[in-house]
Chains A and B, each alone.
Chain A
């Protein structure tokens, strides 16, 4: 088999894996948009905030320590304990649920029935607030996140592909874990939305919140639940990306990778986020390998992802799996 083809297959597989990581971020956007019609600009920052909180809890960091020390002249930084990863994840989830409640109480319950653009602007405000709040709460230094996920070359795949092709493929263990987690997440979310009472209520609110209210569904509860779910997805994305690059401010920029995925997969489809992510991941990696690096000087991935999404948009404005737009006059 030609060398280029073998390398292309490795690039293709890595593109799939990268796509899963993009999809993890896109899922949070889809959940909130599906249930409330809000395009949540703050989703990337929520991933950052969740990861910061997780590391802070694991390391026993005193929240707002810089502020406390500046006001009271103290020197407190750590509680002196380390919390096991699993417990820290649960505690972080409690924080994310509390955040969802506060966000709903202070912002979105006051904006019911407002134009989507107003809701969108509110999420921009939320993003900037959360960014500063997270920074003040946990500090802006780069933190190592280690919840025990494996990282680096998978020797099994390396060996198997070497025996077949005479070249061992590089697949990152972390990407494999991310793929399994994303698959589980999608299955759980789809089952929840289709078969649970709360999931059906969520879909009812998404279809027509006034009709849902008239049959006794609590809009407040559903929105808090949806923001909590988005917080959970943000936590999962934060763990994956934070393990990869350390937990730092740049984590919030992963939202940039989710936008073309949403354009392609549609804003209302959970499987669409996954399929969109895979197409974007594979598309950008294969383009970079075959055309970008050899002919265009490289670094084509970011803009090519958007070009790919725009091409799809021309033919399917609602995205691959989005709900068909029907306007009646």
Chain B
């Protein structure tokens, strides 16, 4: 009897788990909790792109894709549990949509030999592949975002912002504090005055911060927020009649979720972006034909074309391209996490490739290398049109200030290497 039960249990496990040759891309999603409005569209986009590859191309290089989803509720402990429970399934790469989870996973992925991609989030100095061989953060990171916002201000002011006052309204967490050093270094270079305004989680009450902004009258406000903090900040800015075109959020403060609840008051608000917006791309035709119309869309199927949905699609597309590169390098379709890492380290995204994938002018061109896991640090500025109810890019992609950022990455990664006894090398 016991033997039968054991055989049944084994059978159930084998049926539930992926076939050994499948390519496994776990999704550490958050469809519940206070940050679910951001987690849901990303998870849907991530899943739909892989479904498209399975339905249209039969997977990647003939290997079917499995995507086990694990709910983290944006909770760091749950995120680590999800990692531990899915890594044994042959996981090729992780993309936790959370800086807190990322920080916990950095030593774990290095020990387990599984690559991790943290596009636009996580530990910025992980860009230095010599110190963080298993972590990637292309095409842009938090510091790039801060620098791109400052460069945009420079462009608007004829290259001189030495007489300007800039306030940073930030989520009082590891994530929100990321750009502070960069903005301080850039303040030294460009001579602007920087004011720091932390907002505690969840950020529903920001009266003090915005009264201070009203009193001190900064010329520009940069925001590193997430969740309800974004909507409240934009509403408060509208309430005090702060000029929206001078209010610039990072990409995590630049989705429909952040501006729609504010209505007309959010018109003109800007955000830094590392990918394009909308659904006017050939890829969406394929998504419609192979995924949406077949009833295979993830979630409720109501997020298509939104900013964060597109980010999920883009995230899946980048790792899928890295998997193709890995298959090519190693001459096998059934790649391992170690091979996947090689693919990521040799990834090159060109406009020609993006066009072939059905996403022309969607993301910046970049090339990854052993030393550079973060790409070239290109971003653009998006602006919200409340009347049309849509975001649009108002600039081309331009590069962050590498003259300032490169030494910061070097310094921070060297400190991490020293703390953890890592011998940098490629």
- Number of residues in B with C-beta < 8 Å to the partner? 41
B239–A152 touching, CB < 8 Å: yes
A298–B231 touching, CB < 8 Å: no
Q: A142-B260, A245-B235, A299-B172 are in contact. Are A170 and B214 (CB under 8 A)?
A: yes
Q: Which of B254-305 contact A (CB under 8 A)?
A: 257, 260-263, 265, 295, 300, 302
Chain B minimum-CB-distance residue to A145: B261
B200–A299 touching, CB < 8 Å: yes
- CB of B40 within 8 Å of the partner chain: yes
Interface size, A (range): 35 or more
Q: Which of B226-240 contact A (CB under 8 A)?
A: 227-228, 231-232, 235, 238-240
Contact residue among A7, A153, A250, A289 (Cβ-Cβ distance under 8 Å from B202): A250
- CB of B208 within 8 Å of the partner chain: yes
A245–B232 touching, CB < 8 Å: yes
Which residues of chain B are within 8 angstroms of A143 by Cβ–Cβ distance?
Answer: 261
B34–A253 touching, CB < 8 Å: yes
Contact residue among B32, B37, B235, B238 (Cβ-Cβ distance under 8 Å from A141): B37
Prevailing SS type, chain A contact patch: helix
Q: Which of B31, B172, B198, B211 has the most CB atoms of chain A within a 10 A radius of its CB?
A: B211
Contact residue among A140, A142, A153, A288 (Cβ-Cβ distance under 8 Å from B208): A288
Which residues of chain B are within 8 angstroms of A10 by Cβ–Cβ distance?
Answer: 211
A140–B231 touching, CB < 8 Å: no
Which residues of chain B are within 8 angstroms of A135 by Cβ–Cβ distance?
Answer: 32, 36
A153–B37 touching, CB < 8 Å: no
Which residues of chain A are within 8 angstroms of B265 by Cβ–Cβ distance?
Answer: 152
Contact residue among B199, B232, B262 (Cβ-Cβ distance under 8 Å from A299): B199
A301–B241 touching, CB < 8 Å: no
Q: A135-B32, A142-B257, A301-B205 are in contact. Are A7 and B215 (CB under 8 A)?
A: yes
- CB of A11 within 8 Å of the partner chain: yes
Contact residue among A145, A153, A241, A301 (Cβ-Cβ distance under 8 Å from B239): A153
Q: Which of A120-149 contact B (CB under 8 A)?
A: 132, 135, 139-146
A145 to B263, CA, bound (A): 10
Q: Chain B 33-54, CB within 8 Å of chain A: the 1/0 string? A: 1101100100000000000000
A142–B200 touching, CB < 8 Å: no
Contact residue among A7, A153, A250, A299 (Cβ-Cβ distance under 8 Å from B198): A299
Q: A69-B300, A248-B228 are in contact. Are A253 and B208 (CB under 8 A)?
A: no
Q: Can you show 21 pairs from A to B with CB atoms below 8 A apart?
A: A7-B215, A11-B208, A140-B32, A140-B36, A144-B260, A146-B263, A151-B239, A152-B265, A153-B241, A170-B239, A170-B240, A244-B204, A246-B261, A253-B202, A253-B204, A257-B205, A289-B208, A293-B197, A298-B197, A298-B198, A302-B200
In the complex, the 7 A-B pairs of residues with the closest C-beta atoms, listed nearest first: A246-B261, A250-B228, A299-B198, A250-B34, A288-B208, A299-B172, A144-B261
Interface residues of A (CB under 8 A from B): 7, 10-11, 14, 18, 66, 69, 73, 77, 132, 135, 139-146, 151-153, 170, 172, 241, 244-246, 248-250, 253-254, 257, 285, 288-289, 292-293, 297-299, 301-302
